Amino acid sequence: MIPKNTGFLILGGLISLSIAFLHIILIFFGAPAYRYFGAGETMAIMAESGSPVPALLTLMIAGVFMIFALYAFSGAKILKPLPLLRPILFTIGLIFSLRGLLLFYSLYLLWISPLPTEAIKHILFSLVSLGTGILYLSGTILSGRYKGV
């Protein structure tokens, strides 16, 4: 049974978990995936040359998103309370929301870009980030896990 007022955190946690698994999958697709998802040309070139650095960095990023998911599930009372739960949930929500605010830059790219598909990809990434941030912040407040700064 799902505890009351925890659906937002559960959904935020599932999105974080999905992002973590996406990062793990990126490792297997290598340089083209790093390029598509904006990891940078340096990461793509290192992956093409067989360097373990891109895979290790990508695994670390996946680990961060898994920790985000664990905190969301803890805030949703599915897991035991983790240390510093309220401020960390709030911080995760802010991180996602701030990344989501790049939506405005992405819309600007759409306006000026000769490659609208690239701008649309950035708009989508920004919307997912903003939505996830809102889920974390709303879920934290509604679940009673955050009661002010």
Whether the per-residue pLDDT at 79 is higher than 80: the answer is yes
In a domain, 2, yes or no: no
- Tell me the percentage of the chain whose pLDDT exceeds 90: 75
Please name which of 71, 70, 44 lies closest in space to residue 55, comparing C-alpha atoms. Answer: 44
Q: What range defines the domain where residue 55 resides?
A: 7-142
Is 85 domain-assigned?
Answer: yes
**Which residue has tokens 């600007």?**
108
Instruction: Say whether pLDDT at 16 is over 60.
Output: yes
Task: Quote the number of domains for the chain.
Answer: 1
With respect to residue 1, please indicate whether it lies within any of the assigned structural domains. no
Whether 134 is covered by a domain: the verdict is: yes
Q: What is the pTM of this model?
A: 0.89
| Whole-angstrom distance, CA of residue 132 vs CA of residue 122 | 15
Indicate whether 12 belongs to any domain. Answer: yes
d(CA 102, CA 114): 19
